[in-house]
């Protein structure tokens, strides 16, 4: 009988310890997660800011590669529109090469 009471007491103490430990763990985890909220907000803000920066860069690339910008820059560098387009045919090229031999 004494043996049974002893075991019951041990189980009760162990159960209490487990409950206490779990409770303590939950409090610690919840506490750390609550404080993590601030960090999450900071990371989210940073993410937003990087996303907007990325979009701004995409817009800059698109503007810089627009045809009107390229045309203005090409003119600025001294390029002019071609006056005439000359096409070389296979036959005329062969004839020319033949005459050179």
Structure tokens at 92: 């005329």
Rounded Cα gap, residues 55 and 47, in angstroms: 12
Q: How far is the CB of 97 from another protein (least distance, A)?
A: 17
| Stretch of 8-16, 17-25, 72-80, 85-93 contacting another protein, by CB under 8 A | 85-93
**63 with 69: CB under 8 angstroms?**
yes
How far apart, in whole angstroms, are the C-alpha atoms of residue 2 and residue 8?
Answer: 10
Residue 50 is a binding residue for another protein (CB under 8 A): no
Which residues of the shown chain bind another protein in the complex (CB under 8 A)? 30, 33-34, 36-38, 40-41, 52, 55-56, 58-59, 62-63, 65-68, 71, 85, 87, 89
């Amino acid at each position: 009988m004494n043996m049974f009471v002893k075991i019951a007491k041990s189980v009760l103490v162990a159960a209490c310890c487990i409950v206490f430990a779990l409770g303590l763990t939950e409090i610690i985890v919840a506490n750390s997660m609550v404080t993590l909220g601030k960090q999450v907000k900071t990371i989210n803000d940073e993410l937003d800011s990087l996303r907007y920066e990325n979009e701004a860069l995409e817009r800059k690339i698109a503007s810089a590669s627009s045809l009107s910008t390229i045309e203005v820059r090409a003119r600025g560098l001294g390029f002019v529109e071609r006056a005439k387009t000359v096409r070389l045919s296979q036959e005329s090229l062969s004839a020319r090469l033949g005459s050179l031999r």
